[in-house]
A and B are shown apart, each in its own frame.
Chain A
Amino acid sequence: MTGGRKLLGHVALLLPPFGWLTLFYLGSLFILLLSAFWQVDPMSGDVVHDWTLDNFRLLVSDATYRIVAQRTIGIAALVTVTDILLAWPLAYVIARKVGPRLKLTLLVLVALPLWSSMLARIYAWRLILGHDGVLNWFLRAAGLPGQSFAFTNVALWLVFSYLWLPFMLMPLVSALERIPASLLDAAGDMGATPWQTFRTVIFPLAIPGMAAGSVFTFAVTLGEYVTPMLVGGAGSEFIGNVVYANVGVSGNVPFAAAFSMVLLVVIGAYMLVARRFGAFEGA
């Protein structure tokens, strides 16, 4: 009796948030899915509710969208690998090599940029990489030839790697912190050199941390459109930019929805992979 009432209480407690989520989140996802099969009248801009696969047909037949999708996924993957490489040494030092006070200082320094506006940080990179920017100023002062990374995919790669590094670093630090020191002793005890210990114990145990970090570096990069708009150049369009152009500029929501579905499928598939590697297992 009381058990039943208790259950009823739980349900009542969960109903508002879940109902809300279902209605707004799944509801809008459903509408997105639906509208991908509609079309827009080019002159009036009205959505025509006739079922059609034209949007998907165009996505498949026009190489442009494959190129954009490949670029998006490619850069997201490159950013992920870059951030993993950049985060490892720093995370290792923070997690296992320094005292608690220095650790706190370093973590605050890592998190510090997150308290400033992302747009400001992206613009800062424009100032650094620009033709008459800070980097070239130093290069020229050193008698070296100037770079022209501004508004290229290289700039995009640099800025993304910079933006998401803290998000790779933090979960990696916490994954490394959670490895008991005795495991490393045990590996050495059984004959593993420090490198072998890293390869067979530390690295595998840090995989969930890297997977959690990659949710930002990979999945969030996939859905980005602001950074490509600001620091990308000709040939830096992301899926998000095409979606944005179709919604905010062309008013072609159905086509935007169709391309978004592609993004959604890629991100969904990636989340499953990340979960498989323990990205979402408790901190």
Chain B
Amino acid sequence: MQDNATTGAMAVGLSGLTKSYDRGRPVLKGIDLEICPGEFFTMLGPSGSGKTTTLRLIGGFELPDAGQVTLLGRDVTRLPPYQRDVNTMFQDYALFPHMSLRDNVAYGMKIRGVGAAERTERAQQALDMVHLDAVSDRRPSQLSGGQRQRVALARALVNKPKLILLDEPLGALDLKLRREMQVELKRIQKQTGITFVYVTHDQEEALSMSDRIAVFSEGVIEQVGTPQELYERPASRFVARFIGSSSILGGEHGCAILLRPEDVRMEPHGYTPTPDEDILPGVVEEIAYLGPVTRCQVQRMETGACVTAMVPSRTARTLQEGMAVVAVWAKDVAYPLPR
């Protein structure tokens, strides 16, 4: 990874990518993106936003209508998948049902003519890494979903590619397994230093794992940034809404401001704010007890403006629906959304 950094070439460079299916609706309307070597990069967005298509263009499974794809500075736009030094973990894992786990993992090596002994050894090591070495003779149909997922990971890792593409790999797992695998994936990515390009529609997953995130919406990238940047300084209403929960208030001069609920506190009716504070007087519309915190929605009857606050449950005991209250926040936490 070091040598890539010194040459300065991006792991992935996308410029002006467009793509549409069936001469109809465009799926990608011009994607520009640079992904650094060794990065855990996530493409986040709702379904149909173009994130998976972008991934498939990087992998070479589809060709763009226009634009360019570079991998480590090399233009691969028109190259087929087998000429790109990329490995992919597919959403359905895409394990070969007619091969044992070992043969699945060793497939790429076999194709490239690696000797049988070396192949077996490396495949066994890769399976060892995902704790499946004991069952390497089995067929994929004999495995659970979580196990298949780990085989797919081993298969993607065993060729030591510069780049691994992951297409919603945890989508089919239950919540507990999902959490475990998130940690596992992150650990392996750090350990190997391989660039991960990860597609998900789960913003929590994206925030917890990624070095940087690109937020997709309707075929364009709304924003690229670190999880903190996206959360704290979203570039658009869409990003603000999609990442975390938030309240958006119409500010002065038609400019909208964003409030994160954890920055809002509740005061009794008649509270006078300090010069550093802004307030929204109103009534409690809804209270939801979430354990450590309680979510509380305050609405101002006259304007319909609405603010959500997340307050420690201990301090929320007196709140009742219909109660007149004042929602309070420090002026400097209100983030003016760009137009």
Contacts and interface: CB of A to CB of B under 8 A. Distances in A.
Interface in B239-295: none
A71 to B, nearest CB: 35
B113 to A, nearest CB: 10
B111 A196 contact: yes
Given A196-B111, A205-B98, A189 B86 contact: yes
Contacts of A52: none
Interface in B85-143: 86-88, 90-92, 94-98, 107-108, 110-112
B92 A182 contact: yes
A201 interface: yes
Given A200-B107, A204-B98, A205-B98, A188 B92 contact: no
A186 B97 contact: no
Interface in A51-105: none
A38 to B, nearest CB: 48
B115 to A, nearest CB: 16
Nearest to B107: A190
Given A180-B94, A182-B92, A182-B94, A188 B107 contact: no
Interface in A9-36: none
A203 B97 CA distance: 13
Contacts of B111: 187, 190-192, 196, 200
Interface in B36-62: 59-61
Contacts of B110: 200
Given A188-B60, A189-B81, A196-B111, A180 B96 contact: no
A190 B80 contact: no
Contacts, number: 60
A187 to B, nearest CB: 7
Among B92, B107, B112, B155, chain A packs the most CB atoms within 10 A around the CB of B107
Contacts of B82: 188-193, 196
A263 to B, nearest CB: 32
B149 to A, nearest CB: 14
A189 B166 CA distance: 12
A180 B92 contact: yes
B92 A190 contact: no
Interface residue tally of chain B, by bracket? 20 to 34
A185 to B, nearest CB: 5
Contacts of A196: 82, 111
Contact of A182 (B86, B90, B98, B155): B90
Contacts of B98: 204-205
A130 to B, nearest CB: 47
Interface in A122-154: none
B112 A186 contact: no
A114 interface: no
Contact of B59 (A180, A185, A187, A205): A185
A207 to B, nearest CB: 8
Nearest to B155: A190
Contacts of B107: 187, 190, 192, 200
Contacts of A183: 94, 96
B159 interface: yes
Given A196-B111, A200-B107, A200-B111, A189 B97 contact: no
Interface string B71-91: 000000000111000111011
Nearest to A208: B98
Contacts of A189: 59, 61, 81-82, 86-88
Contacts of A193: 82
Contact of B96 (A185, A188, A194, A201): A201
Nearest to A192: B111
A115 to B, nearest CB: 34
A171 B112 CA distance: 32
Closest 5 CB pairs between A and B?
A190-B108, A188-B81, A186-B94, A182-B94, A182-B90
Given A185-B81, A186-B90, A190-B107, 19 more contacts: A182-B90, A186-B88, A186-B95, A186-B96, A187-B96, A187-B111, A188-B80, A188-B81, A189-B88, A190-B82, A190-B159, A191-B82, A191-B112, A191-B159, A194-B80, A196-B111, A200-B111, A201-B96, A205-B98
14 contacts: A185-B61, A186-B88, A186-B96, A188-B81, A188-B82, A189-B59, A189-B87, A190-B82, A190-B87, A190-B108, A191-B112, A192-B82, A200-B107, A204-B98
